[in-house]
Amino acid sequence: MNTNRDDSLGPTPDSPGRRKLLRYAPLLLLAGCDMTPEGRVESTLRSVQSFNDWVQAKVFDREKLAAEYPDEELTPEGGFRVNGYDTDRPDIDLEHWTLTVEGLVAKPGTYTLRALQAYTKKVMNTRHCCVEGWSMVPKWGGTPTREFLRDIGADPNAKYASVECGDDYYTSYDMPSLLHPQTLLCYEAYGKPLELEHGAPVRIVMPVKLGYKSAKWVSKIVVTNDKPGGYWEDQGYDWFAGL
């Protein structure tokens, strides 16, 4: 999902582009809120959200695997959903793309796609679940995020990481979820390089969370102990977003 909420959200072919949606969605959200002068409704909702995030983090098992499916149960490649993508193409130079890593890491810097592809590739058929209720099972391929972060010396005691994307989207993660063995810096789908509309050259695939955490067009990762926000999370979506 993306405008990165996940692949089902975002402009249709007849609607404004992704960047316009990112600008105007906060206004649409506020228009639908029941606000009070004292802000009690918003405060209550935020408290409930924080409690939900706390519970989900407590019960999360960083080694428990999401279901993986045989090829016979894959979503056909023609059904690999895009949706939140139109002619407003993200501003990405695919040929010279790099991933910037900052924060609590021993080896900050920029890393090329070739550097990510030097790691042993993990291929998996896992379910991508949209917050709107639909799901699909693509064949993903990429670098386990845990291997990359450990290799560049991410602080093992760090609590969080934030991600920035080429379409101005941003999100963030608890470190145990980012180090889950099925979380990928994904650069392939169905045995072929990702297409631009699916997040090329690199997207996050995280089958233990809802689709808006599977950020497309990843450009930067920052490891931190300060809890970051996220585009949809800052507007009231669950921050943990676990399945």
pLDDT in tens, 126-182: 999 888 888 999 999 999 999 999 999 999 999 999 999 999 899 999 999 999 999
Residue 6 lies in a domain: no
Residue 40 lies in a domain: yes
- Domain membership of residue 64 (yes or no) is yes
Structure confidence at residue 132 (pLDDT): 82
* Domain containing residue 39: 18-235
What's 196's domain CATH number?
A: 3.90.420.10
Check residue 242 and give its pLDDT. Answer: 83
The single-letter DSSP state of residue 195 is P
pTM of the model: 0.78
Rounded distance, CA 229 to CA 225, Å? 12
The enclosing H or E element of 184 equals strand 184-189
Give the type of residue at 208. V
- 5 lies in some domain: no
Q: How many domains does the chain divide into? A: 1
Q: Widest CA span of the chain, in angstroms?
A: 55
- Note the pLDDT of residue 46: 57
| Nearest in space to 187 (alpha carbons), one of 229, 145, 149 | 145
pLDDT tens across 65-100, in order?
989 999 999 999 988 887 554 445 688 899 999 999
On whether residue 241 sits in a domain, the answer given is no
Indicate whether 107 belongs to any domain: yes
| 215-229 per-position pLDDT tens digit | 999 999 999 999 999
Q: Residue ranges of the alpha helices (H) in 118-241?
A: 145-151, 175-178
DSSP 212: G
Q: Is 11 part of a structural domain of the chain?
A: no
- Does the residue 147 lie in any domain? yes
What residue has token string 């631009």?
A: 196
Classified as helix, coil or strand, 203 is strand
